[in-house]
Each structure stands twice: as C-alpha cells, then as structure tokens.
Amino acid sequence: MSSEPTETDEQQDPLAEHEQQLNDLLLDVEGPDAPDAESHLSGLGLDVSRRGLMKAGAAAGAIGAFAGCAGLQGGGANTEAKGGSGDVPDHMVPPGEHDEYYGFWSGGHSGEIRVMGLPSMRELTRIPVFNPEPAKGYGFDNETSEMLDDAGGYTWGDSHHPNLSETGGEYDGRYIFVNDKANGRVARVNLKYFETDAIVDIPNVQSVHGCCIQSPDTEYVFANGEFRTPLPNDGRDVNNPEEYVSLFSAIDPETMDVRWQVKVDGNLDIVDSDKDGRWVLSSAYNDEEGVEIEEMTKDDRDSVKAFDVPAIQELVDAGEGTEVDGIPVIDGTESSKHNSGDDPIVRYIPTPKSPHCVEVTPDGKYGMVAGKLSPTVSIIDIEKLESASDPADTIIGQPKVGLGPLHTTYDGRGNAYTSLFIDSQVVKWDIEAAVNAEKGSEEPILGKIDVHYNPGHIQAVQAMSSEPTGDWLVVLNKLSKDRFLPVGPIYPDNDQLVYIGNDKDNDAGGMELVSDHPVYPEPHDAVFAQKDKLDPATTWEPEDYEGEKEYISEDASTVERIDDSTVEVKTSVKRSEFGLRDFTVQEGDEVRLTATNIEGSKDIVHGMAIPEHNVNLALAPKDTREVTFTADKPGVYWIYCTYFCSALHLEMRSRMIVEPED
Amino acid sequence: MTDELTFAPKRIEVEAGTTVTWKNVGSIGHSVTAYGEEIPDGASYFASGDFESEQAASDAYPDEGNVTEGGSYEHTFETKGEYKYYCIPHEMNGMVGYVKVV
C-alpha cells in the first residue's frame, strides 16, 4: 500500500490537471474576455465558488472519493433530501398501492428498456430489446430469435433514447421506440404486451445516437446517424475522411422501414421534433469533420441542424434522392443545391462548439440546445426557422446556466431545468426571462441544487409531450461515487428523484432532492407517462397471432413425424401438466415444438425448458411460442416448468426421449 | 370449474334424483373425480369419463376424464348422504367439492 503523502500527491495531480482543463476549456469556448463562469454555492452561507471549494478540500486532503477527471466533490447545505419538509408528497408508495407514473428507462449496454414506477422508483419489469433475455424467453423462440438475427444477429445493443408514441401531441400508449447506438438500429416495443415487435437495422448508418418520434402524431421516427462513414461503407474511401458522411433517417413507425435519409455535414447527436410536424432539430458536433479529437474541437462553432421534414418528403416524392442500399438519400449538406435558395431543407444554426442535445418545449415554441463546453443554453425560436434570413437570428436567448450543461426539461409552468455535468447540479431557470434577457445573463436562474454526481439526461414527468405535469424530475447521474455501499470498481449510476412541484424563492428554486437509486450501468435517458395513458393486456389475445402460430388446445396436443428427420410436437401447458406427458424422437431429428399456455388466469405464466438443448420458452397465459431445435444427443431429457405456477410446480414435467440411431 | 382452480360453488345440496352438471367455464381442463372412500355406503361411484372406481379414473387420466374448455360432465345422485370429489390435476391446489344429497 502507498504511503499517505504519495496518495495526497496523486490526488492533487489529477485535480490540478482537471482544473487546468476546465480553465482552458472556458478560455477556449468563451474567449479571454469571458465573464466569470463559475457557479456559486450560496447554500454554504458564504460566497464560495465550487471550484475554490474543491481546491481547498484537496489541499486539506479531504477529498477521499475523487474519481476521474470529471469528478467533483459534492457538498453544500442544499444537497440533503428534504422529503420531510411537509409540502413534498411522499415518494414511498404504501404496500399494495400503485405508482402514479410509468417510467421507461433505456438500459444502455444491456440493450433493454427498464420499466419503473414513479415516484417510488420501484422496478416493475424489464423489456428486452436488442438483447436475448431468458426470463421472457426473448431470443429463444423462433419469432424473436429470427427478429434478432434479421436485425444483424448481434448479441447486444446500446440503447439510449426511449420515445413514447403520440397522438395529438399526447402519449397514446401504443409504442416505445428506442435506438441502438452500437449497431445503428431502432426498435419498436408494443405496449399492449410490453414486448419488442420490430427492429430495423438502418442501411448506410453505423451508429444511431439521437432518436425521436415526430410530434404530434408519430408519422415518422427519426434516427440520427452519429458516426461519419463513407457512403456506402463498403471499403471505398476509407482513407478519405472528407468523403465520410452522417445521415439523418426517417422511419415509418408502422412498417419500420426506412423511408429516406438526408446526408449532412458534421456528426449528428441528439434530436427532437417540433410539435407541428414540420421541423426536427438535431444537435451536432465536429463540423470540422475531423477524425481525431483535436480536429473535432478546433473551431469555435458547430451547427445545429433543423430539418424541414415536409420539404424533404417532397424532394423524395419527386425522385430527387440518390438510391443507396435501397434508400433514397437527399443531399442536405450546407453546399447542396437544396440548401442554396430561400427555402433550404436543412438550416445550419451556429452555436458554441460541441453542444449536446435538443429538447423542444412542451408548447412547441423553443428548442433548447445545451452548450456542454459552453456554460450556456441556446434558445432556438422554432417559428423563426422559416423566416429568419440568417439562421443565427433564430437563437433568441442564451442564458448562462453553469458548467457543463447537457440536457433540459420542463414543468409546464414556464420553467426549464438543465443538468450541469461539470458542476454536478441541476439549474432551474425561467424560459421567458431568458428570452428577454441579454445573452450570457444569469438573471433567469431561479435556483440550483447539487446532485450526485455528474448528471447526464434529466427528465420531468411527461415533459416530452405537450402535457407536462410538473411534479417529479429524475436526474440520471453518471457517477455515484460515495452514495452506496461499494460493489467493486464498476460503480452503479445514481438516478435521483427531485420534487419540482413547489416554486419557491429559495436557493433551490423550490427543488427538493427526495431519493437516490442505484442503477446498473448505464441508462441514458428515460420518459414518463401517467398510468392511465397505458392499457396493457393482462393475458394474450390469441387472435393477435392468428394465422401466424397455431393455438394448441389440450385435445390438439400431438406428436407427428413429418419426414425422416423432422418431428412436429404440439403441446398445451396448464397447471400442472404439459399436454404431452412425454414424446419420443430419433437422434438427429429436427424438433419443431409449439406450446400454448392455455390458462385464462392472469399472472399464471408457465415456462418450458429442455435441459442441454438451450430450449427456454416463457409462456404467458394464452400465448403460443414455437422453437425449432435438433435432438442430437440420445437419452432422456426432463422438460420442466420454469415459472413457479402452483403447489405442484416442481412435479410439472414431461419427458423428451431421444432414441439412439441404429 | 374455473381457471382459478375451483369448483364453484364448492358445496351444493340437492334432492335425491337430481342431475348435477359441472361445466368448465375456464380455459384449462379439469376432472370431476369422486373419492372412493368418501361417498355414502351403497352409492354409485362417479367420475368424469364414467369410471367404476377412483383407481380406474386416476389410471386413465389425462387420456380420459379430462373435461376441457367448454366441456361438461353430469351425474345423477340417487343415494342420500355426503359426497366429496376432486380434480385430479388440481387436487393439491385445493380443488375439491362436496355434494350433499337430501
């Protein structure tokens, strides 16, 4: 073990380096005449800057939990949970009672969607999307394994941005759409069954970052291609980065086919739609089109892209696209002929470099682009996108909110909430005050609270629809550091629940931190809907798969040899019996197994596992699943139920008898 | 007979000579199988599949005696007294019933 003085040296070095990075960054983004951008911890009762506090703490050897270049020590009087102050509703939901909201989290590396209740933050279920998952048998039956195979056959995805479908600007409870950053895909989750029912592997695109639906009626799903590659990426131009492009893709939400793509300059990042079905805004970086970080951040400005969707659709309909891998691609680069006239199809709006995210206000008036490297949020006036002769004029406000602004959300009362990654805070600010204030003003700020630590996405309830309800806010912190029992060197993230229903004239603007929740890394974003927006099925309705799969009743349980090497096995499943007590096949046979859970009672789920054959079906009541496998090892195999279904669950068996070849 | 694994009602009282019908109103199959030791002396044995004894009913299940979705079974009770019966696949889940013939 190292001696104490050495540890202190080690702590100071990265801290000093981090300080220097911050100073360089601010100088770089704002110029030498930039006003002081440090935020202040007024809650300490002293006018102490965060960075000053951090330095002092380090000098005293007080920062034990310093972790990584972005880490900052939490502290200050406004960091503690204040759930007991009397005017914050209880976030604990009593036993047997339900939450008010559904929350849908992207699972990050797991490729799944996680469903939680708000405000309790209890995990209700998980929906596998890009990942095979045994409990729901996803990727084990023929239908879902073929869907995963057709979507590229990858065994993981990096899900980032879940989006609820809308009708009339309101969540309609039909679908969630979510992207896979790792493999350039978008999936659709059916909210009747909470099951992924389609995945599109987007042609010509390697990585999808931003993903959103078109408001108000989900006529398209949009996907931002982040990584620039040659078009098509088939080996041509690999050493000519100037030929690499990013593509913006429009997907049909019903067929999940890609309708068209738009080629743009720079890398596309996050995306959001206006509320009228016309403009879609994308944050972007690397307008320099560099391939190394120094090149990507060389210039002072990057351009947000505003896509005029009906105008693009018109060009596609007129056959103006160049077909690549079956998809019409429209040239939307800044120098394109489609952008040279008075009605460009893509407006390039310059913002301070490398901004992150766009979130449109629930009333559809503004798109907020957080500065990331700049301590500001740029407010884009959506109405001006059509009329402004200079796209820069569409930015009608630019409040200075704090260090590392990444994402913004809304309460429906005219307030915005922005996560501050570097400051480890949430800042609440007044939208109209920011529009009316000088650019760079801190006046619109209503309050700040510390969060733990380094927040990324931030979402208030129903803020992505036109019906924000403004009581709860979730902050998805990237680091948890000292907040939980240590569990080895890969830490959980920390999702924090904040009550925002009170607008108070205090340091926190009325925001109150209510609870911490460790999360398995790494969800990126979440979206929330009031419970009555959804109406999930409690059992399957067999007519929903009529003609695709055969419903196997008890009387229809049979074994039939189709040919020399193929056997069809059909079985019903109920408490506590499989419709077939046993079935016999020959070594080497292909077995086509169809199983129906004939139960009519909700929550009576059966499983059907066959040891040593990788067969694992999850059968909800009235559901039917098919699986095809080869019985290549002679012997007796005990088929068992994997869901505890009754007192005789353990005895619920069937036998597969595989007779040896002669 | 229901998907909640019950005979509903669980206890009935009928007059001698009454024909009782059990209808499966759920999705999953059940049996109506009298306990051989728990019917009145001299009463005729009853079970779906029309078996002569509890052992015969048990041996034949599930190929016979399983009353599937929408199906029914009936029996006419002539002898007075108390009868107890069960569903073979769901006995351990408490699916038993009583007929009192007066």
pLDDT digits (tens, 9 = 90+) for A518-543: 999 999 999 999 999 999 999 999 99
Q: Is the pLDDT of residue A76 over 90?
A: no
Do residues A589 and A641 both lie within one domain?
A: yes
Q: What is the pLDDT of residue A52?
A: 38
Q: Which residues of B touch A577 (CB under 8 A)?
A: 62, 89
Would residue B53 count as lying in a domain? Answer: yes
Q: What is the pLDDT of residue A86?
A: 67
- CB neighbourhood size of A247 (10 A): 30
Residue A535: phi, psi to the nearest 5? -140, 70
Q: Is the pLDDT of residue A27 over 70?
A: no
- Sequence-distant (≥ 6) Cβ neighbours of residue A108 within 8 angstroms: A158, A159, A160, A521, A522, A523, A524
Do residues A331 and A363 both lie within one domain?
A: no
Instruction: Please tell me the distance from the alpha carbon of residue A244 to that of residue B13, in angstroms, as a whole number.
Output: 84
Please state the length of chain A: 662
Q: Is the pLDDT of residue A236 over 70?
A: yes
Do residues A339 and A367 both lie within one domain?
A: no
| B62 in contact with A, Cβ within 8 Å | yes
Q: What is the pLDDT of residue A11?
A: 44
Instruction: Please tell me the distance from the alpha carbon of residue A220 to that of residue A223, in angstroms, as a whole number.
Output: 10
Residues 392-431, chain A, touching B (beta carbon < 8 A): none
Residues 24-43, chain B, touching A (beta carbon < 8 A): 26-29
Structure tokens that stand for B91 in this block: 């006995």
Average pLDDT, chain A: 90
Percent above pLDDT 70 for chain A: 87
SS (H, E, C) B24-82: CCCCCCECCEECCCCCCCCCCCCECCCCCCHHHHHHHCCCCCCECCCCEEEEEECCCEE
Residue A143: phi, psi to the nearest 5? -60, -50
Closest to A634 in 3D by CA, of A616, A662, A661:
A661
Task: Work out the average pLDDT over A627-642.
Answer: 98
Q: What is the pLDDT of residue A662?
A: 78
Pair A639, A610: CB distance under 8 Å: yes
The DSSP code sequence of A539-580 is S--GGGGTTTS----STT-EEEEEETTEEEEEEEEETTEES-
Overall domain count for chain A: 3
- CB neighbourhood size of A537 (10 A): 16
Question: Phi-psi region for residue A515, left (φ > 0), alpha (ψ -120 to 50) or beta?
Answer: beta
Q: Is the pLDDT of residue A450 over 70?
A: yes
Instruction: Please tell me the distance from the alpha carbon of residue A183 to that of residue A174, in angstroms, as a whole number.
Output: 25
Instruction: Please tell me the distance from the alpha carbon of residue A346 to that of residue A270, in angstroms, as a whole number.
Output: 16
Structure tokens that stand for A229 in this block: 């590659």
Amino acid A249 reads S
Do residues A628 and A489 both lie within one domain?
A: no
Structure tokens that stand for A606 in this block: 């059966």
Q: What is the pLDDT of residue A16?
A: 59
Contact criterion met (CB < 8 Å) for A648 and B66:
no
Amino acid A308 reads D
Pair A238, A230: CB distance under 8 Å: yes
Q: What is the pLDDT of residue B61?
A: 96
Q: Which residues of A touch B69 (CB under 8 A)?
A: 553-554, 598
Higher-confidence residue: A280 or A79?
A: A280
Q: Is the pLDDT of residue A13 over 70?
A: no
Do residues A399 and A516 both lie within one domain?
A: yes
Would residue B23 count as lying in a domain? Answer: yes
- Sequence-distant (≥ 6) Cβ neighbours of residue A627 within 8 angstroms: A140, A141, A142, A593, A615, A617
- Sequence-distant (≥ 6) Cβ neighbours of residue B60 within 8 angstroms: B49, B51
Instruction: Please tell me the distance from the alpha carbon of residue B67 to that of residue B28, in angstroms, as a whole number.
Output: 9
Q: Is the pLDDT of residue A654 over 70?
A: yes
Q: What is the pLDDT of residue A314?
A: 98
Q: Last residue of a domain, which of A284, A311, A346?
A: A346
Would residue A191 count as lying in a domain? Answer: no
Beta bridge partners of A519: A493
Higher-confidence residue: A642 or A25?
A: A642
Would residue B3 count as lying in a domain? Answer: no
Nearest chain B residue to A576, by CA: B89
- Angle at A306 (CA atoms; ends A397, A157), nearest 5 degrees: 110
Please state the length of chain B: 102
Beta bridge partners of A346: A307
Do residues A362 and A406 both lie within one domain?
A: yes
User: ipTM of the assembly?
Assistant: 0.91
Would residue A269 count as lying in a domain? Answer: yes
Contact criterion met (CB < 8 Å) for A646 and B92:
yes
Handedness of CA A445, A448, A452, A453 (dihedral sign): positive
* CB nearest to A646's CB, from B62, B66, B93: B93
Structure tokens that stand for B84 in this block: 């107890």
Residues 609-628, chain A, touching B (beta carbon < 8 A): 621-622
- CB neighbourhood size of A45 (10 A): 9
* CB nearest to A647's CB, from B27, B68, B93: B93
Would residue A178 count as lying in a domain? Answer: no
Would residue A124 count as lying in a domain? Answer: no
Pair A346, A287: CB distance under 8 Å: no
Question: At which residue do the structure tokens 């041509």 appear?
Answer: A236
Q: What is the pLDDT of residue A21?
A: 60
Q: What is the pLDDT of residue A647?
A: 87
Would residue A54 count as lying in a domain? Answer: yes
H helix runs in A225-280, sequence order: none
Write the CATH number for A62. 2.130.10.10
pLDDT band, residue A19 (cuts 50/70/90): low
Question: At which residue do the structure tokens 């005729």 appear?
Answer: B44
Contact criterion met (CB < 8 Å) for A576 and B3:
no
Instruction: Please tell me the distance from the alpha carbon of residue B78 to that of residue A540, in angstroms, as a whole number.
Output: 44
Number of CB pairs, chain A paired with chain B, less than 8 A apart: 48
Pair B82, B100: CB distance under 8 Å: yes
Would residue A590 count as lying in a domain? Answer: yes
Q: What is the pLDDT of residue A383?
A: 97
Task: Work out the average pLDDT over A201-222.
Answer: 98
- Angle at A499 (CA atoms; ends A494, A503), nearest 5 degrees: 140
Instruction: Please tell me the distance from the alpha carbon of residue A584 to that of residue A659, in angstroms, as a whole number.
Output: 7
Q: How far is A96 from chain B (nearest CA, A)?
A: 21
SS (H, E, C) A8-58: HHHHHHHHHHHHHHHHHHHHHHHCCCCCCCCCECHHHCCCCEHHHHHHHHH
Pair A275, A216: CB distance under 8 Å: yes
Do residues A410 and A327 both lie within one domain?
A: no
Write the CATH number for B78. 2.60.40.420
Q: Is the pLDDT of residue A153 over 60?
A: yes
Would residue B5 count as lying in a domain? Answer: no
Question: At which residue do the structure tokens 């499989």 appear?
Answer: A578
Angle between helices A50-59 and A4-30 (to 10 degrees): 160
Instruction: Please tell me the distance from the alpha carbon of residue B81 to that of residue A115, in angstroms, as a whole number.
Output: 56
Do residues A367 and A330 both lie within one domain?
A: no
Do residues A510 and A596 both lie within one domain?
A: no
Nearest chain A residue to B66, by CA: A554
> CA of A49: how far to CAs of A31, A74, A456, A492, in Å?
21, 13, 22, 28
Task: Work out the average pLDDT over A632-638.
Answer: 98
Do residues A407 and A492 both lie within one domain?
A: yes
| A516 in contact with B, Cβ within 8 Å | no
Nearest chain A residue to B68, by CA: A554
How many Å is the maximal CA-CA distance in chain A? 89
Q: What is the pLDDT of residue A179?
A: 98
Pair A221, A237: CB distance under 8 Å: no
Contact criterion met (CB < 8 Å) for A575 and B68:
no
Overall domain count for chain B: 1
Structure tokens that stand for A403 in this block: 């260090």
Going through A119-162 in order, the beta strands assigned E by DSSP cover 123-127
Q: What is the pLDDT of residue A9?
A: 42
Would residue B4 count as lying in a domain? Answer: no
Would residue A168 count as lying in a domain? Answer: no
Lowest pLDDT segment from A1-10, A177-186, A216-225, A491-500? A1-10
Q: What is the pLDDT of residues A580-630, one digit of tens each?
A: 999 999 999 999 999 999 999 999 999 999 999 999 999 999 999 999 999
Instruction: Please tell me the distance from the alpha carbon of residue A490 to that of residue A333, in angstroms, as a whole number.
Output: 41
Structure tokens that stand for A524 in this block: 């990126």
Residue A436's H or E segment, with its range, is helix A431-436
Closest to A447 in 3D by CA, of A474, A416, A421:
A416
Q: What is the pLDDT of residue A4?
A: 41
Q: How far is B66 from chain A (nearest CA, A)?
A: 9
Amino acid A244 reads Y
Q: Is the pLDDT of residue B60 over 70?
A: yes
pLDDT band, residue A18 (cuts 50/70/90): low
> CA of A397: how far to CAs of A222, A302, A380, A443, A466, in Å?
27, 17, 7, 12, 22
Q: Which residues of B touch A540 (CB under 8 A)?
A: none
Would residue A335 count as lying in a domain? Answer: yes
Q: Which residues of B touch A554 (CB under 8 A)?
A: 28-29, 62, 66, 68-69
Task: Supply the range of the domain harboring residue B42.
Answer: 11-101
Q: How far is B93 from chain A (nearest CA, A)?
A: 6
Structure tokens that stand for A36 in this block: 């002081």
Residue A361: phi, psi to the nearest 5? -65, 150
Q: How far is B44 from chain A (nearest CA, A)?
A: 29
Task: Supply the range of the domain harboring residue A304.
Answer: 202-346
Do residues A283 and A221 both lie within one domain?
A: yes
